[in-house]
Structure 1
Amino acid sequence: MRILKWLLGIIAALVVLLIAIALMLPNDFTVTRSIVINAPADKIYPLVAAPAEWKKWSVWNQRDPAMQMTFSGPASGTGAAWDWQSKSQGNGGMKFTAATPNQNIDYELHFEGMGKPSSGALKFEPQAGGTKLTWSMHGNSEGNLMMKLFSPFMDKMVGSDFDSGLKNLKKLVEQP
């Protein structure tokens, strides 16, 4: 019985320590990646502004070919949205909240059970011989201690997916 009380005491102390650490962590996180694509923005934009086109280059869709997607709103641009259900990638949805052709797309992203939605943007900048595309996501984990523990690691967790997606998009756009 003494050992059980000792173990419960250690577990309780670890839980309190974990909560204390979570409370000290920042609420906000940002993930940003960029790539230069050797094509004008008007060749890239249709592949980004239409949710149905994301399956051609997004790593999340490629990781789960059985992902179930439901599209709503217009086919592209402001108001275009999709929800997905996936055993490996989770359930969630994305909606384009603003879109200016060949310049930017702003979005809101949510995952079931992950608290507040994140917001993000895809920005198109003309470059010599092509377009610089910057993909960013911002979130706030305030009020969700579990998400707060992940916030410092979001760049490492999501950044590589952004990099891979942008590389896939570049390859798709630049193919002859």
Structure 2
Amino acid sequence: MNIVITILLVIVGIIGLFLIMALFLKKEHYVKREIVINAPRQKVFDFLRLLKNQDKFNKWAKADPDRKWEYKGIDGTVGFVISWNGNKKAGEGEKQIMRIIEGKRIETQIRFIKPMATVANVIMETETLSDNQTKVTLINCGTLKYPMNIFIPMAEKNFPKDMDASLTTLKELLEKDEQ
């Protein structure tokens, strides 16, 4: 019986430690990544503004090739919503175009239902570097309430490599079309 009580106390202590740690951690995350694509800005922007194109390059969108997709509205316009329901890795949620600054910026909001209810903002910006070179900036930011903010350090560590992989795939797709 003493062993069971000791195990339960250790578990409660670990949970308590995480809850105390979460009190002192930030509640907002912000990750920004960039890549240069050898293609004209308008071509890059026109591709990015369509959320249906994201399953072609976004690492997270490719997490479950069998996921169920639903679409509401006109892709590439403010208000368009893409919803999904997939395996454990893909989860369930939706992404909505919130604002478009023509040729420059697409602001979306991603709302996860599973595996954890959370909301984040995903912003994609394009900047002309030359007639045939465009800098793409990908930003993921949002807020996690206590005690879920305990996951922010892990997210800020893992997001950059996933975002870089997505941007690299985007670069390959768009530059292949330029050759």
TM-score by length of 1: 0.91
Deviation at 1:160, TM superposition (A): 1.6
User: Any idea what the Cα deviations from partners look like across 1:123-161, whole Å, max 9, x if unmatched?
Assistant: 111113411110001111124x1x311101212222222
SS in 2 for 1:109: strand
Which residue is 2:127 aligned to?
A: 125
> Would you say 1:141 and 2:118 are equivalent positions?
no
RMSD: 1.5
Deviation at 1:111, TM superposition (A): 0.9
| Contact 1:27–1:141 under 8 Å retained in 2 | yes
> Would you say 1:12 and 2:15 are equivalent positions?
no
Q: Which moved more, 1:132-141 or 1:9-18?
A: 9-18
Separation of aligned partners in 2, 1:126 and 1:38:
10
Number of equivalent positions: 174
Separation of aligned partners in 2, 1:38 and 1:24:
43
Gaps of 5+ in 2: none
Amino acid of the structure 2 residue aligned with 1:124: T
Q: Percent identity?
A: 26
Q: How does 1:16-165 map to 2 (within 5 A)?
A: 16-87=16-87, 88-113=89-114, 114-128=116-130, 129-143=132-146, 145=147, 147-165=148-166
User: Any idea what the Cα deviations from partners look like across 1:104-135, whole Å, max 9, x if unmatched?
Assistant: 00110111143341112111111134111100
Runs (4+) off by over 4 Å: none
Separation of aligned partners in 2, 1:3 and 1:116:
38
User: Any idea what the Cα deviations from partners look like across 1:71-97, whole Å, max 9, x if unmatched?
Assistant: 111121321220011103111111010
Separation of aligned partners in 2, 1:111 and 1:158:
16
Gaps of 5+ in 1: none
TM-score by length of 2: 0.90
User: Any idea what the Cα deviations from partners look like across 1:4-55, whole Å, max 9, x if unmatched?
Assistant: 2222222222221111011111101111110011111111112211111112
Separation of aligned partners in 2, 1:170 and 1:120:
18
